Amino acid sequence: MIEAVSCGGVVIHRGKVLLLYKNQNGRYMGWVMPKGTVEKGESFKQTALREVKEETGVSAKIVKYIGKTLYTFKGDSDIINKTVHWYLMTANSFYCKPQAEEFFVDAGYYKEYEAYHLLKFKDEKQIMKRAYAEYMEHIKRFNHRRI
């Protein structure tokens, strides 16, 4: 069994959540949030920001750590236990460009309920809901300070 660690971002701009659509060699892979493997010498925050930038073209800012998801899948030669650390992030525009090298064919920002229904994996749906609730609290605190 192999232990693997990835980091990703729940990126929100003006109340909409950034998602990627993956279609590998004509095979539907589903809608996901940007995430990827920690590289040697990187912190989890650095990995999350880098992966968001590489997979979507978005320069995001971290608001806070949201939590982790755990799942297991069969790799080429072994079972892989994957831990993904998630960060709530904000972007400053709706610009995004899916990374073709990773078989992402579409990217976009979606209303919370749309994103929830589009996301393929249950664990990503749950972490997105948690992040969105934190985002709404963050917005309330920010707007309260401006009054």
Three-state SS string over 109-121 comes to EEEHHHHHHHECC
| Separation between Cα atoms, residue 122 and residue 106, nearest integer Å | 20
Cβ atoms of 79 and 36 within 8 Å: the answer is no
Query: For position 144, what pLDDT does the model report?
Result: 63
The pair of three-digit structure tokens given for residue 18, joined into one six-digit string? 């950034």
What does the domain layout of the chain look like in residue ranges?
Answer: 2-142
Give strand ranges (E) for 46-134: 61-74, 79-90, 104-111
Tokens 């078989």 locate to 103
* Topology annotation, domain 2-142: Nucleoside Triphosphate Pyrophosphohydrolase (3.90.79)
Per run of 10 residues, the mean pLDDT along the chain (length 147 residues) is: 94 97 86 96 98 97 96 87 96 96 95 97 96 94 65
pTM (predicted TM-score): 0.92
- Measure the N-to-C terminal CA separation of the chain; round to a whole number of Å: 54
Task: State the DSSP H helix or E strand holding residue 129, giving kind and residue range, or none if neither.
Answer: helix 122-146
Query: For position 59, what pLDDT does the model report?
Result: 96
CA 3 and chain centroid, separation: 20
Query: For position 113, what pLDDT does the model report?
Result: 97
